[in-house]
Structure 1
Amino acid sequence: MPPKEKVESTEQVLQAVILADSFDERFQPITLQTARCLLPLCNVPLISYTFEFLAVAGVQEIFVFCCSHSDKVKAFVKQYGKSSNMKIHTIVSQECMSVGDAMRELDAKQLIDTDFILVNGDVVSNMKLDKVLEEHRARRQADKSAIMTMVLKKASPQHRSRAVGDGSLFVLDQSSKECLHYQPLKAFKSTRRDRRMTMDMEIFDKHPEVQVRNDLIDCQVDICSVEVPALFTENFDYQDIRADFVHGILTSDLLGKTIHFHEVSDVYAARVRSTQMYDAVSKDIISRWTFPMVPDSNLQAGDCYEFRRGLVYKEKSVVLSRTCVVEEKVVIGARTQIAEDAVLSNCVIGKNCVIGANVKIDNAYIWDNVTIKDNCVVQHSIIANGAVLEKDVTVNKGCLISFNVTIGANTTVPAYSRLTALAEDEDQNSVTELISDPAFVGPTGRGRPFKEAEDSDDEDDEADPRNKQVNRLAYDMSALKLDRQAQEESASEFESEASDVEEEEVNTAEELDREIAQTLERAFKEGHEVDIAALELNTLRMASNSNFHEMRKRIIPGVLKNIDLSAKPGSKTTVKEVLVRWGPLIGRMIHDEADQIDGLFILQRACAGLHEDSTQAQKVFAPALRYFYDEDITEEDSILNWYRSDKSQQGTETEKRLREVVRPSAT
């Protein structure tokens, strides 16, 4: 009976814990000077979005757990709390090095006395938690061993709000909403062991029907019982909430605890866990996918944004010259000045910034009090508060320019540079003098390239350095391959293993080619239903750890090669019959706009590859494109974006002629 009284009390006070520290180094050197949860996202501190999300969920009491830069976090929380109906407390522990340490500290302080919501301080979401809370409480009433409910969001593997280098594989029981197995997925695996999933086969004895899912985004929003912090205390090996705690609970025969899930689809939820995700979530906010958490909602006290056509958000005190150009998807903060002939596109400009004449800013994030003088170009980078770009500076993509860095005139900052105005070891209270590097900041500049600590070992990054690189802003896969080759050449002790991995990858690709071809051939020959064929192909995809692009580039040619242009009307092999019968199978492999455009490139190449004669290729390409459009597999905007892209104009002569066949009308 006492447990029931405790559960009833939870309905009166809903508590939440925010982990304000990320316990990783992905935003360094910027986070050497401020907490990651305070970084501006569309000119609003990250943690403000988390507070708003919890307020909508009905949370009444919040504990903000902070480690690094705790003074700044406490000051912000104190200021925010003045206008909030929620009780917000800060817990400071400088010794914590991981999520596990924070949970153990939380248990030691005994501040949580009910089921609570656990989130990170960089979560942006517009979902309501009514249903998941109701489900969790009902489940706890019936079964005290159910200690956690994870919120998962359905999304394609290429979805923008999915972290490139981080993924999750879930084994789920839909009937009981129980998570049976969890495994983190990395974009690159260092060893063959990392490429395999090991699961207890006894799971199938207790759960005859399970789903293996990699189409879910882990929202990092959990409903936890009071037992969760205590379990961290009992198991000091638990450091990460997913890789250690969830995996440990699910594989333990002794604890007897269960973890469940709640799946959402028509809401927004993402965590800004890397600079790549910072870019993605910023674009989603500007595009209003996060509504009502959009700039013109003015979440921050004192903001006064106006929403204009073209997804432009501007505060009233902004000063724009007559000849400046503000293109689509732009946010401009208060008291910022934009000079003549400046061009802004797909960017966020902070408050009190000065943008000079003839400046071009594209896909960049300029924070408060930044000065960018005449004739500068900034591409797909982040520039922090107080930075100065003198005249004729070019900042190439992927750069992080930290607080108060000055780039001297006529300087080109190399792509992916990370610059800081801190002296060596200054964050460790050293008195070392800052020695600027002219190669990066110019002769008159102030700053140096930031070098990560050699002993850095983030739990997120694992062994392969490429997993860290793909999570960075504006990452370039082609450059990544070159870096990998250089590493393999310089590290002879790993050459044998790298060779084995490469050979295995080639063999895996050939095996996937063969198995998909056999599956399609069997489906065509035996007349399988599309649902059955799609199920078999998705099983192959998950077994080979392939993405939907790899499936499309094999399935689209595999379907088209069954077309016989000499077949008589009514035959099963005519263009129309094959598309009507098997086109839906292609549609199962296309989910978002990026998939649609990629599918059109593959269709273009496949038609040209199957028919050297452009006239014959056109007889397949034009009807196939019409079918894609009519059946909503491909939208009009995607077709236009494909047509206008440089990639569609390249390739063989036949490919180029196919593009011209579908030239849009002048009107």
Structure 2
Amino acid sequence: MNHYSSGDDGALKAVLFADFFSGQLRPPCTDETFCEALLPIANVCLIQYQLEALLLAQVKECIIICRESVKETLSKFVETLKLDMNLHFLASSQWLVAGDAIRELDSRGDLRPQSDFILILPGAFFTFNLAEVVKAHRTRREKNKNWVVTCCFGQRSISCSCDIARLEDGQIIQYSSARKGKLVVPGIMNMTDYCSRIEIFSNLEDCGIDICAPELLVEFRENFDYDNIRDFIRGKTDGGEGELLGNRIYGHILSASTDFACRLTNMESYFFVCFGFVHRWSYPWTVEQFPFHTTNYEYRRGPKYIPSVCTLARSSHIGRCTVLGENTCVDENAVVIHSIIGDNVKIGPNCHIRDSIIWSNSILKSRVSVCQSLIADGVVLDDDCVVSKGSIVGPSVLVDSKTHMPKNSRLVRSNLLSLSNEMEDLNIDSSVAVSREKQVGSASSYSLWQETLDETAQQQDSESSVDELEQIDRKESEDIAVVENREEVSATPDSLSFKSSSSSSPPMERKVALQEIKDTFQRALEEQHPPETAVLELNALKLALDIHSSLILRVIFPLLLDKLGVQGNTSQVTQQWITFFRYWSGVLIKFCPHSLDGKWILKYWKEYCERRTSYQKYFSFLVQLLYDCDVLSEEWIVEWYLEQVKSNPHSVWIQQLGTFVEWLQEAEETSSESEA
């Protein structure tokens, strides 16, 4: 294979995919001239954020890849931005997948990158500085030309969940996404012969941001099986070429605290990014401090973002985490909470909007209710309309008065759904059933589809320990918000109704997963496996079964308790317990990372003692033992104790634990005084 320059001899280029060829984000965007790059995030289009981030990375030239039908719209839009960057468009109506566009780019001598370049996949939103990532990539390339790609991964999975295994030098040896299967643990273990350490990361966010060498284009030219760059990565890792020789792919893990990145692939991720931006998670980029903003926003505590040009009635109420667009009019007694309102939107009297996004030039007449929904451009909602959770109203739709949209429904133009290929453009697949059709509007030109919810998935969601933790977190945040303002409830982006049905496993699969975890750890207990081996086996199951650490904890802790005996005198029993938990504490620590997990351990141990009276006198002893073994933290124990005091101050458990908690609090005070 030919080698190219590392990029120091020329200006840095970027290749930006402006839209999905599969139409993944097109339910609200039925116009063929619209693409995902024009999706507004806090009233600024996605492509503006992308281009600004590329400017910060010192990109001098950007190639924008899109469909032919959206090229004119995009080109006119970016002309208005007046960027210090050369922009070129590469468009075609013949491409079926992203790989086709990459192969055409390789054939274009005038556009083809001759050195390292940045590749931005469709829907990628990021606010961190890519310059350091590019610099590190070039440094690796100077030492070894086989480093052809650097992939960026976020530490919180939002829309593009993936698992990776990499060597100690950062080389990815396995990559899997929810769509393409799981990691192969035996294959990973075989690599231990060549390196001293292998890192396994689960539930990362594939940000869709890559630093690529020009050799990548040759790979696509020679392999027509590659639909996208992720197929290239799988091909190199699964085929063995990415193990020790040949092309090498580096996995760059972003900082969880400072680097904000996500891919917009569905409505859930779109809402997450929009409200994450409002919540200032993307700092230093904020609503009121962004270079492309032509609107002068005033930041108010809440946060609230109010433009200098808008009309707010005296009796209207603008709640927390709300953005109002320019020339927005909010009439008497209207309430807007935790929502993003576009430019030139008219909100009539007594309207109520919560946890929603409304694009520009829409009109909501009197007594309209919108909850956790998306309203596109140019929509008119007549008097007394109700838009329920998870609904989407397409552009230029006129909805008659007193229309009630059921949950998770879509309202779009009927003529856009007349042909099967247009339904594919709207991303209405076999999982979305047409359960009701209703003609609305004076011209009877719009149809209402209601998405059929999978009852099995709903049942599974209620049983999932992950959902249980999220619900508790939401409840805590809502309680705090109610104290601050009884009229407002702070909702996180995760609490919105746009949930992917693929995020949870069917009940039968969960039962199988629970049984497999139980059998694996039971065998480790009986055969006295080293704790490190048990952790490795459970981690492998976590990756293979796509489950949360909390679920593993809820299986292994009861098994540990069942191994505890109370035969003999108190001294013998306590000594046996000390030896047992000091041996297995490392496993508990690994799968008990959250305060809610620690409180669950205390709750379960209390209930365990209630069912087995012979264990009751050891309740406080085991709590202290778990504290000494670093399984339970001081904060978790004190918080749980205070919660129990409020609910039942005279319980036997409070009396047993009281002395120990007092000691913890005194030790904390002494430590604080010493530090002071």
| CA distance 1:65–1:149, shift in 2 (3 Å) | same
Give the secondary structure class of the aligned counterpart of 1:138.
helix
The 8 Å contact of residues 298 and 304 in structure 1, kept in 2 or not, is answered as: no
The 8 Å contact of residues 415 and 445 in structure 2, kept in 1 or not, is answered as: no
Confirm whether residue 385 of structure 1 aligns to residue 373 of structure 2: no
| CA distance 1:509–1:622, shift in 2 (3 Å) | closer
Confirm whether residue 143 of structure 1 aligns to residue 144 of structure 2: yes
Backbone CA RMSD of aligned residues: 4.5
- Quote how far apart the aligned CAs of 1:263 are: 2.1
Name the stretch that deviates more: 504-513 or 420-429. Answer: 420-429
How do 1:424-463 residues align onto structure 2 when only pairs under 5 Å count? Answer: 424=416, 439=438, 441=440, 447-449=446-448
How do 1:578-657 residues align onto structure 2 when only pairs under 5 Å count? Answer: 586=588, 588-589=590-591, 596-597=595-596, 600=599, 604=603, 607-608=606-607, 611-612=610-611, 631=634
Give the secondary structure class of the aligned counterpart of 1:285.
helix
| CA distance 1:77–1:560, shift in 2 (3 Å) | farther
- Quote how far apart the aligned CAs of 1:621 are: 13
Structure 2 residues not aligned, in runs of 5+ = 423-435, 452-493, 662-676
- Quote how far apart the aligned CAs of 1:132 are: 2.3
Distance in 2 separating the partners of 1:630 and 1:203: 36
| CA distance 1:579–1:345, shift in 2 (3 Å) | farther
Distance in 1 separating the partners of 2:441 and 2:621: 53
Confirm whether residue 271 of structure 1 aligns to residue 263 of structure 2: yes
TM-score by length of 2: 0.73
1:312-351 CA-partner distances (Å, limit 9, x unpaired): 1121222222222222211111111222332222211111
| CA distance 1:76–1:399, shift in 2 (3 Å) | same
1:223 is aligned, of 171, 188, 211, to 211
- Quote how far apart the aligned CAs of 1:101 are: 0.9
Distance in 1 separating the partners of 2:374 and 2:328: 17
Confirm whether residue 281 of structure 1 aligns to residue 273 of structure 2: yes
| CA distance 1:376–1:569, shift in 2 (3 Å) | farther
TM-score by length of 1: 0.74
Residue of structure 2 equivalent to 1:93: 92
Residue of structure 2 equivalent to 1:457: none
Confirm whether residue 506 of structure 1 aligns to residue 496 of structure 2: no
2:497 is aligned, of 452, 470, 474, to 474
How do 1:214-613 residues align onto structure 2 when only pairs under 5 Å count? Answer: 214-242=202-230, 244-252=231-239, 256-265=246-255, 266=257, 267-421=259-413, 423-424=415-416, 439=438, 441=440, 447-449=446-448, 474-475=497-498, 506-517=511-522, 519=524, 534-535=535-536, 537-558=538-559, 572=574, 586=588, 588-589=590-591, 596-597=595-596, 600=599, 604=603, 607-608=606-607, 611-612=610-611
AA of the residue aligned to 2:58: G
1:360-410 CA-partner distances (Å, limit 9, x unpaired): 222111111111222222111111011111122111111121101122211
1:171 is aligned, of 165, 168, 192, to 165
Distance in 2 separating the partners of 1:408 and 1:618: 67
1:10-47 CA-partner distances (Å, limit 9, x unpaired): 35411101011212233223233111110111111011
| CA distance 1:396–1:222, shift in 2 (3 Å) | same
1:606-637 CA-partner distances (Å, limit 9, x unpaired): 6435525999699679979x97995456998x
Q: Among the aligned pairs, what percent are the same residue? A: 27
AA of the residue aligned to 1:36: E
- Quote how far apart the aligned CAs of 1:273 are: 1.6
The 8 Å contact of residues 407 and 444 in structure 1, kept in 2 or not, is answered as: no
Distance in 2 separating the partners of 1:404 and 1:307: 31
AA of the residue aligned to 1:245: F
Give the secondary structure class of the aligned counterpart of 2:546.
coil
1:458-504 CA-partner distances (Å, limit 9, x unpaired): xxxxxxxxxxxxx99724689999xx9xxxxxxxxxxxxxxxx9766
1:486-537 CA-partner distances (Å, limit 9, x unpaired): xxxxxxxxxxxxxxx97665333212123335546888xx9x77x7765554
1:34-91 CA-partner distances (Å, limit 9, x unpaired): 11110111111011111121111111111111114222111112212x1x22222222
Give the secondary structure class of the aligned counterpart of 1:296.
coil
- Quote how far apart the aligned CAs of 1:100 are: 0.2
AA of the residue aligned to 1:332: L
Give the secondary structure class of the aligned counterpart of 1:553.
helix
Distance in 2 separating the partners of 1:639 and 1:152: 39
The 8 Å contact of residues 565 and 575 in structure 1, kept in 2 or not, is answered as: no
- Quote how far apart the aligned CAs of 1:572 are: 4.3
| CA distance 1:419–1:537, shift in 2 (3 Å) | same
Residue of structure 2 equivalent to 1:58: 58
| CA distance 1:162–1:12, shift in 2 (3 Å) | same
2:176 is aligned, of 176, 183, 186, to 183
Distance in 2 separating the partners of 1:206 and 1:89: 45
Residue of structure 1 equivalent to 2:672: none
The 8 Å contact of residues 65 and 90 in structure 2, kept in 1 or not, is answered as: yes
AA of the residue aligned to 2:497: A
The 8 Å contact of residues 556 and 586 in structure 1, kept in 2 or not, is answered as: yes
| CA distance 1:138–1:51, shift in 2 (3 Å) | same
Distance in 2 separating the partners of 1:589 and 1:446: 54
| CA distance 1:534–1:315, shift in 2 (3 Å) | farther
The 8 Å contact of residues 297 and 306 in structure 2, kept in 1 or not, is answered as: yes
Residue of structure 1 equivalent to 2:20: 22
Give the secondary structure class of the aligned counterpart of 1:297.
coil
Give the secondary structure class of the aligned counterpart of 2:134.
helix
| CA distance 1:125–1:478, shift in 2 (3 Å) | closer
Name the stretch that deviates more: 93-102 or 133-142. Answer: 133-142
AA of the residue aligned to 2:53: F
Distance in 1 separating the partners of 2:418 and 2:72: 18
Structure 1 residues not aligned, in runs of 5+ = 431-436, 453-470, 485-500, 663-667
1:556-591 CA-partner distances (Å, limit 9, x unpaired): 545666889999699748999999998886554355
The 8 Å contact of residues 600 and 639 in structure 1, kept in 2 or not, is answered as: no
Give the secondary structure class of the aligned counterpart of 1:147.
strand
The 8 Å contact of residues 171 and 213 in structure 1, kept in 2 or not, is answered as: yes
AA of the residue aligned to 2:305: Y
Distance in 1 separating the partners of 2:316 and 2:637: 36
The 8 Å contact of residues 548 and 589 in structure 1, kept in 2 or not, is answered as: yes
How do 1:85-164 residues align onto structure 2 when only pairs under 5 Å count? Answer: 85-110=84-109, 111=111, 112-153=113-154, 155=155, 159=156, 161-163=157-159
AA of the residue aligned to 1:589: F
Distance in 1 separating the partners of 2:375 and 2:322: 16
Give the secondary structure class of the aligned counterpart of 1:361.
strand
Distance in 1 separating the partners of 2:151 and 2:416: 41
